[in-house]
Structure 1
Amino acid sequence: MPDASHNDAVLIFPAGMPRALEFLGQCRRQGRKALGASSLAYDPARQRYDRWLTLPYVTAADFDAALRRAVAEHGVTGIYTPHVVVWDYLNRRLADIAPGVALLNASPLDEELAAYRTALDAAPAFLSQPLPLASSLPAQPPQPEAEIAALLRHFAAIPGMCDLDKLKALYEIARRCPQGDVVEIGSWWGKSAFALLWLAQRYAIGKLLCVDPWENAQLLQHDADPLVDRLAADRLDADEALRIFQINLLPYSRNDCNYLRMGSLEAAAHYGRQPTVQTPGFGTTAYQGGIALLHIDGNHAYDSVKADIEAWSVHMADGGWIVVDDYRWPFGDGPRRAGDEFLQTHRATIRAAFVAGGALYLQRAAH
């Protein structure tokens, strides 16, 4: 008879694989009892588990009997396995070995490939629905389907609020962009920064400069719904965000990406004086001093957005694009007010203007 104190246990096998350890964390957060198991004589993951047992390899003749004993002795009601072969075997045999015990996860192979399959399925639609933009510059050719699938896959892996509608719009304006620097105000974890870097490389636009103070105090919107400020104060860590940004951008940098950890206005002054940036991770990056694509996604308070546009737009190249993010934003109207004012003031020099993915896109007329 199973020990009553061990009832309703989850068996994790093999217990040392990365997805197994992730599932162990889920069990602990949910208060579920977890039993780790391995076929190795020594498995370093053993110290991560409160309870542990050794099972034969799934190819061994006595595996079924050993698993049956483990289920009975430990009150196992479910099994989680991230191993493709073990999962396939249990999917076929578990009902006979231990009737009533559930296999808790779907095929690990399907789980591993799901994000890639999603990207491959989405790429044709991404390419088949181009935006009809009235641009000053002709559109460069679209990227091959495999390249778009790669963009979608890696974009999806980075946390952030930038959605596919906005990615699509950024892709379309990048195809109609002059040469020059690509500047982003407000990068945080680097989701849109990755997209901008990828696009700048594919369309030979120029180097990417990311500007963000990475300070929690700078996240406060002040005139926005207090829900945003409360989240910034309680849940977000600026130092962690910078480290995540570096993890996300460093693998793709070809000495064509860097960042300034400072406020937007201070960074604009630095850019105007000497457009060269040096950081330990990204090295030294020399910029042209003229901006082909400006993405404004810093503090969303009206005064901050207006100041960002004024400070950086003076460096715009002819035919360059200004993107004001969150022009449609449920927590405040700062980006919309500042964007509308800029459009009204500079209407004579704006060649194209549209809204997509919640952002405002403005193209300066090319001479």
Structure 2
Amino acid sequence: MNIGKADIINKRVLIFPAGMPRSLVYLDQALANGMEVVGSSSLGHDPARERYSRWVQLPYVTAPEFDEALRQAVSAHDVGSIYTPNPVVWDYLQRRLGHDFPGLVLVNSAPLASEMAPYARALAFGKAVLAQPFGLAASGERPPTAATEIAALFRHAETIPGMCDQEKIRALCEVFRYCPTGDVVEVGSWWGKSAFVLASLARCHGTGKLLCVDPWTSEHLVQENKSDLIDNVAWDASEALTVFQINLLPYANGMVNYLRLPSVEAALAYRQDRVVETEAFGRTQYSGKIALLHIDGNHGYAEVRADIASWYDLVRPGGWIVMDDYAWAYGDGPRRATDEFLAQHGMRISCAFFSGGALFIQMSG
């Protein structure tokens, strides 16, 4: 008997075992979607029980009485489907449901396949980066990193919210092969997705330390954008800083710090003092010479123009300026300011290309 979504929509879903981390994630998603849920466990005491309004105790799947206990639970609680992240339980039910539990379906695919899929995607990405180099006409080429290094970077970046897409990550993997040594400075870090990518690539290539610049305050979020769409979003700047710290702390190891200042003020502070100290990341000594400058702050034309003017002269010969959102759906501030810079400093530019929405510019001597 084949049961479709329409047939089980009014029935409850049984989550078993109910206390596994992925079970609790699924619980929150199910409740948010208005589904009725029954929790279940074989433990004598499962701390997750208090999370569920309905609960049923089941024996271990290895017990002879498991099948009958499951039938009784399904009948008593009007269960139409089961979610289980346990690979042994999933495999057992997958083999038995159609014959011994007609009408009952598994809502999730094989847990092992689901767990391994992100790693397979990451390794495929790493291999693709190596197999399809950009062929840049740039100076200072270094050997590429291993596919597993790129895969590790990509996999961990996937867990961080943000707008740094695959094409931009791929381009950054290439650009760092042509970077001189020096500081990596990011203007506009927010949750830290691109910061993580920059810090990881700087470590892989021995480039230098990462300095993140962001005021993380609501008054600096107002953008020059079409129809005020971005300004209407309820961003939480203080929350964003906490998320940034959580995302970067495991990978910092003395190589990452931040200035919670507007870009222009941060540039002055950076020029005056090479030491940055914060409670979260401790004390970091910078060189004062920039190998790569990533500008992704406020996207208003005047603000982008000020960001470029405040930092560009500190970029070393052979270093890069990455102008994020050069092609931006909500306005033309980054493009206008960048085009002005290109027109004024074209003689100092040795290489430029567009990828992942950003313009990558290598400065000459």
Give the alignment of 1:70-81 within 5 angstroms. Answer: 70-81=73-84
Query: What is the Cα deviation at residue 56 of structure 1?
Result: 0.5
Aligned residue identity for 1:105: N
- Residue 220 of structure 2 is aligned to residue 221 of structure 1: no
Instruction: Tell me what 1:146 maps to.
Output: 148
In structure 2, how many angstroms separate the alpha carbons of the residues matched to 1:249 and 1:189?
9
Match of 2:232 in 1: 230
Structure 2 equivalent of residue 163 of structure 1: 165
Distance 1:354 1:77 in 2: 54
1:208 partnered with 2:210: yes
CA contact (8 A) 1:12 1:37 kept: yes
The reply on whether 1:239 has 2:261 as its aligned counterpart is: no
Deviation at 1:39, TM superposition (A): 0.6
Deviation readout 1:134-188 (Å, 9 max, x if unpaired): 21x2310011111121121112221111111111111111110111110000001
Q: Secondary structure at the match of 2:23?
A: helix
Q: What is the match of residue 5 of structure 2?
A: none
Distance in 1 separating the partners of 2:321 and 2:126? 26
Q: How does 1:57-68 map to 2 (within 5 A)?
A: 57-68=60-71
Q: 1:351 and 1:278 mapped to 2: Cα distance?
A: 35
Structure 2: state its 5+ residue gaps: 1-9
The secondary structure found in structure 2 opposite 1:258 is strand
Q: State the alpha-carbon separation in 2 of the partners of residues 326 and 276 from structure 1.
A: 30
Q: Are the structure 2 counterparts of residues 285 and 110 from structure 1 closer, same or farther at C-alpha, using a change threshold of 3 Å?
A: same
In 1, Cα distance between the equivalents of 2:30 and 2:145?
43
Percent identity for Structure 1 against Structure 2:
56
Distance (whole Å) between structure 1 residues aligned to residue 360 and residue 183 of structure 2: 17
Alignment check: 8 A CA contact 2:183 2:211 kept: yes
1:1-367 aligned within 5 A: 8-135=11-138, 137-231=139-233, 234=234, 236-366=235-365
Q: Secondary structure at the match of 1:320?
A: strand
Secondary structure in structure 2 of the residue aligned to 1:314: helix
> How big is each residue's C-alpha offset from its partner over 1:216-263, in whole Å with a ceiling of 9 and x where there is no partner?
2212113444111112xx2x2111211111121111112111001111
Query: In structure 2, what is the Cα distance between the partners aligned to 1:225 and 1:201?
Result: 40
C-alpha contact 1:68 1:97 (8 A) present in aligned 2:
no
CA contact (8 A) 1:225 1:332 kept: no
Residue 301 of structure 1, CA deviation:
0.2
Q: Hey, what's the Cα distance between the residues in 1 that align with 2:101 and 2:200?
A: 50
Note if contact 2:140-2:180 (Cα within 8 Å) is conserved in structure 1: no
C-alpha distance in 1 between matches for 2:107 and 2:310: 55
SS in 2 for 1:89: helix
Taking the aligned partners of 1:80 and 1:291, their CA distance within structure 2 comes to 51
1:224 and 1:301 in contact (8 A); partners too: no
Offset of residue 113 of structure 1: 1.3
Give the whole-Å Cα distance in 2 for the aligned partners of 1:353 and 1:118: 29
After superposition, give the CA deviation of every residue in 1:114-144 in whole Å (9 maximum; x if it has no partner). 1111112222111111112121x23100111
Deviation at 1:96, TM superposition (A): 2.6
Give the Cα–Cα distance (whole angstroms) in 1 for the partners of residues 126 and 103 of structure 2: 42
In 2, Cα distance between the equivalents of 1:153 and 1:81? Answer: 24
Structure 1, unpaired ranges of 5+: 1-6
Contact conserved, 1:115 with 1:153, CA < 8 A, in 2? yes
TM-score (norm. length: structure 2) = 0.95
Kept after mapping to 2: 8 A contact 1:124/1:145:
yes
Contact 2:160 2:193 in 1 (8 A): yes
Structure 1 distance, partners of 2:12, 2:146, is 49
Structure 2 counterpart SS, 1:179: coil
Counterpart-to-counterpart distance in 2, 1:125 and 1:181? 28
The Cα offsets for residues 64-97 of structure 1, whole Å up to 9 and x where unpaired, read as: 0100111111111111111111111001112233
CA distance in 2, matches of 1:356, 1:9: 47
Q: Matched residues in 2 for 1:32 and 1:219: separation?
A: 37
For the structure 1 residues 95 and 119, does the alpha-carbon distance in structure 2 shift closer, same or farther, using more than 3 Å as the test?
same
Q: Which amino acid aligns with 2:316?
A: A
State the distance in 1 between where 2:336 and 2:266 align. 23
